[in-house]
Structure 1
Amino acid sequence: MKTIIMTFVAAVFLAIPAQAQAPWQQVAQQVAAVARQARENADQTKTIIEGERREIMAEQDSLKASINARQKRFDALKAEYESLLARERELQEELAAQDHELKTIDGAIRTAAKQARDYFHESLTTPEFPERGTVLATVLEPDKFPGLQGIQSLLTLFLDELRASGSVTRRTGGFIGPDGKDRSGELLRVGTFTMAYRQPDGHIGFLRPNSDGSRLTAVQGDPGWTLSDMMADYFDGKGLLFPVDISNGAVFSRLARQQTGVLEWLSSGGLLVWPIILVGVAALILVVERFYSLSRIRGNSARNMTTILEMVNRGQWKECRRFCQEQSSYPTCRIINHTLQYLGNTREIIENAFQEGLLKELPMLERFLPTLNVLAAVAPLLGLLGTVTGMINTFQIITVYGTGDPRMMSGGISEALITTQLGLAVAVPIMILHHVLERRVDRIVGDMEEKGTGFAVALMKVGKIKTREELDVAA
């Protein structure tokens, strides 16, 4: 800048003429003074600028140091943040694992509690310990973890039931009688599967839990004389044996169903049960008649045949015919009496006469046997028809209501099974009895054929059977 000022001043002097330089000396001095002042001002400005520059540089260094410190702090915080994020992920994974374990434990506890509720609902010991319902309700409370206390309570219930299963207790308590009224009496529990009662009047029976499991109700049906006496002796301390039920009440329900009666069982089989019963009754009447009739027919006629052959050998024909008429209860004697009418003819005529007498006897012997055979075939066919009818009803129910409720299909299935069972139950005895009667008739016919052959041989020996030549000569 100084150089610029000096150059400017020199140019001014060179441009001014010589005659005018004198006044300008003062101007030069003034300019020089101004220049000096300008230089001083410039120096001051430079000094100020240098100071400000140093301040700025110092402030810049301070800012850089601050930035570096903040950057280091930021890096440290970032590293700590990333470390905390990693720790958070680890804790979340651990929490998820623990939550899964807790859910698994909670599910296991609740499943065990539900199973216990279902089991205790049908347990004979529940009426003795009604507080079980409160404990189970607490454990099964929704949106609440059972905790250690709930687990201990549930375990205590199972242990109490386990101890009860190995004990025999007697107490006095109330129950619902067979008539549906409240009763009281002496109660005896054997383990957790059998419970019986004895009323003050001496009536004895078994007990089962009612529908909600809170009370005991008497089992429908009489246990019978044998079991009642055994139970009474045990109640009185006279016996060491007591009947127990290991089927969890299944045998009692079967006993109750058996007490419903035959008519109810038959009515559940549908309309075709009655034709099957009618077939059985008709077959029974025919079988009784055949056994009665055949029992009056004497098939073993060996002694009578010996007498007849002796008379034939002596030629006592009138006496022989009289004897056969007297012994007419024997089919063989009736046939021989018929054959004696053809004495003196050929062997063929004698044999035909014997066969004619035999054919007269067969209808009486075989009467109703074909009918029994037909009835034995009709009974299972009626049962099969009932089966088809019942299955049709079942499929119609399935078509309308679906398969959601099996009890709606039980009527058709019961009808199908009962008619088949009843048809076979009627047919099998008929077939067996028909075979027995048929064998009886075969024995009688065989005896008659055997004796007839022997009679023909005896006639040949005494000459009462002639050849055709002899008959032609006599003619």
Structure 2
Amino acid sequence: MFEIVSSGGVVMIFLLILMALAMMIVGERFWSLRDKEIIPGQLPEQVIEWSRKKNLDHKHIDQLAENSPLGYLMAAALRKRDDPREEIIESVEDAGRHISHQLEKPLNWLSAIGEVSPLLGLLGTVIGMMKVFANIMEFGVGNANQLAGGISQALTTTAAGLIVAIPAVLFYRHFKNKIADQTIVMEQQVMQLIDAISKK
């Protein structure tokens, strides 16, 4: 394994760093995007019950906003509960854009890794081929050992770039779809709350 890594040269070090970073982001997103963290199961019923009992002081609403992304959206609705329905919805939409940005922010790094890794692999390929041609000019084509190092670097970095990029792109798409699904559920549950506080 060490021989494979060392044959990739300096470019391989950067690819390994990107691989480690991608793995950390994927692990963190799997943990942070769990449904129970984003959309706590009993929260909508509890909040609607609070609204019916008029148990909605600033302390409750602030705690709700810190509870989860869904809680943050519900708190945005409750802070405007005495305003017209259109203004409540507008406030929730603004909060929703903030939440979406927060949920997707780490994914920008994952997307960048998916884009940059193949380019680094290509850079390693170019450097490897430059070594091959330099050796050909110096030693001719008769000595295969002089050419093997450059060819090995070219092939190794190309493969490594793809090995890093393909999972990064797949996980990026997976998390984007998961966030989109969770956003739809949050929208539905916040609309139920808006209906409840608009009818009081």
Smaller-chain TM-score bracket:
0.7 to 0.9
TM-score normalised by the chain length of structure 1:
0.39
Would you say 1:309 and 2:16 are equivalent positions?
Answer: no
Matched, 1:289 2:28: yes
RMSD: 2.5
1:412 to 140, 147, 150: 150
Q: Tell me, in whole angstroms, the C-alpha distance in 2 between the residues paired with 1:307 and 1:324.
A: 15
What CA distance in whole angstroms lies between the structure 2 residues aligned with 1:320 and 1:457? 20
1:318 aligned partner, one-letter code:
N
Distance 1:276 1:454 in 2: 47
Matched, 1:276 2:7: no
Q: Where does residue 398 of structure 1 map in the other structure?
A: 136
Tell me, yes or no, if structure 1 residue 386 matches structure 2 residue 146. no
Is 1:432 aligned to 2:170, yes or no? yes
- 1:133-282 map, 5 Å: 262-282=1-21
- Give the number of the structure whose residues are more often helix, by fraction: 2
Q: Which moved more, 1:268-277 or 1:442-451?
A: 442-451
Larger Rg: 1
Number of aligned residues = 199
- TM-superposed deviation, 1:460: 3.1
In structure 1, list runs of 5 or more residues that go unmatched: 1-261, 463-475
Q: Secondary structure at the match of 1:344?
A: coil
Secondary structure at 2:37's aligned position in 1? coil
User: Which residue, 56, 60, 76 being the options, matches 1:338?
Assistant: 76
CA distance in 2, matches of 1:328, 1:317: 20
Q: Which one of the candidate residues 176, 184, 187 is aligned to 1:446?
A: 184
How far has the Cα of 1:285 moved from its partner? 2.1
Report the alpha carbon displacement of residue 440 of structure 1 after superposing the two structures with TM: 2.5
Greater relative contact order structure (CA < 8 Å, 6+ sep): 2
Residue aligning to 1:170: none
Secondary structure of the corresponding residue to residue 306 of structure 1: helix
- CA displacement at 1:309 relative to structure 2: 3.3
Q: Is the 8 A contact 1:299 1:443 kept in 2?
A: no
Change (3 A) 1:326 1:336: closer
1:403 partner SS:
coil
Change over 3 Å in CA distance of 1:290–1:421 after alignment to 2: same
Instruction: Provide the TM-score with structure 2 as the length reference.
Output: 0.85
Note the C-alpha offset of 1:412.
Answer: 0.9
Instruction: Name the structure 1 match of 2:100.
Output: 362
Kindly indicate which of the two structures has a greater share of residues assigned to strand.
1
SS of equivalent to 1:271: helix
Give 1:319 deviation, angstroms: 5.0
1:309–1:458 contact (8 Å) kept in structure 2: yes
**Partner of 2:142: helix, strand, or coil?**
coil
Deviation at 1:276, TM superposition (A): 0.8
Q: Deviations over 1:165-193 (max 9, x none)?
A: xxxxxxxxxxxxxxxxxxxxxxxxxxxxx
Q: d(CA) in 1 for partners of 2:61 and 2:54?
A: 10
Who is 2:85 aligned against?
Answer: 347
Corresponding residue for residue 161 of structure 2: 423
